[in-house]
């Protein structure tokens, strides 16, 4: 049994062209995005509220120590008694919080002209549209015969 878009013959070309257009559009979009880092992540910004500056919680902080407290307590609990479930849960929670904090410090910067962004949107949306057309339209044609 041969797998084809829509389950019927005839949609392969549309689907393939759409897939190529969408992949090229996504590739060019991500080629235009650059990541920088800044001080203060998601969690330490939330904790930093009310420290002045009037940032409404969006003020950047340089202290991440409070974020490490659950991990610290969890590791102490595991070294004291590794059979305690709450120690494992607290350590896991601390690692998740640390991961979120590190990832949230990345700041995407999109350096692209408006016309290029417009063309990328056309490539991506047009490619997805052709893929769906190759899948759905040819499936309907196969159902009628």
| pLDDT per residue as tens digits for the range 3-56 | 555 555 667 788 889 999 999 998 888 888 777 776 555 555 555 544 444 444
Does some domain include residue 106?
Answer: yes
92 and 134 housed in the same domain: no
80-131: pLDDT as tens digits: 988 889 999 999 998 998 888 878 877 878 888 888 889 999 999 999 999 8
pLDDT reported for residue 11? 72
125 and 73 housed in the same domain: no
Instruction: Estimate to the nearest angstrom the gap between the alpha carbon of 17 and the chain centroid.
Output: 26
Does some domain include residue 6?
Answer: no
pLDDT reported for residue 52? 46
70 and 116 housed in the same domain: no
pLDDT reported for residue 69? 86
Half-sphere CA count of 67, side-chain side, radius 13 A: 22
pLDDT reported for residue 68? 83
pLDDT reported for residue 22? 92
* Integer Cα distance of 6 and 18 in angstroms: 14
pLDDT reported for residue 1? 46
Top pLDDT among 7 and 67 is at: 67
Does some domain include residue 118?
Answer: yes
104 and 64 housed in the same domain: yes
Q: How many domains does the chain have?
A: 2
45 and 89 housed in the same domain: yes
pLDDT reported for residue 126? 93
71 and 98 housed in the same domain: yes
Does some domain include residue 66?
Answer: yes
Domain of residue 42, residue span: 38-49+59-110
72, pLDDT greater than 80: yes
pLDDT reported for residue 111? 82
44 and 98 housed in the same domain: yes
pLDDT reported for residue 141? 62
63 and 105 housed in the same domain: yes
């Amino acid at each position: 049994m041969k797998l084809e878009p829509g389950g019927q013959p005839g949609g392969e070309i549309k689907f393939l062209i759409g897939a190529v257009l969408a992949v090229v559009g996504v590739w060019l979009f991500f080629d235009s995005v650059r990541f920088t880092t800044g001080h203060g992540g998601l969690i330490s910004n939330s904790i930093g509220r009310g420290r002045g500056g009037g940032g409404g919680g969006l003020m950047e902080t340089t202290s991440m120590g409070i974020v490490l407290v659950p991990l610290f307590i969890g590791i102490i609990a595991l070294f004291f008694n590794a059979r305690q479930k709450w120690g494992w849960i607290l350590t896991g929670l601390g690692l998740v919080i640390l991961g979120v904090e590190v990832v949230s410090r990345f700041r995407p910067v999109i350096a692209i002209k408006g016309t290029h962004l417009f063309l990328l949107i056309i490539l991506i949306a047009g490619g997805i549209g052709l893929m769906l057309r190759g899948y759905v339209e040819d499936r309907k044609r196969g159902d009628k015969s």
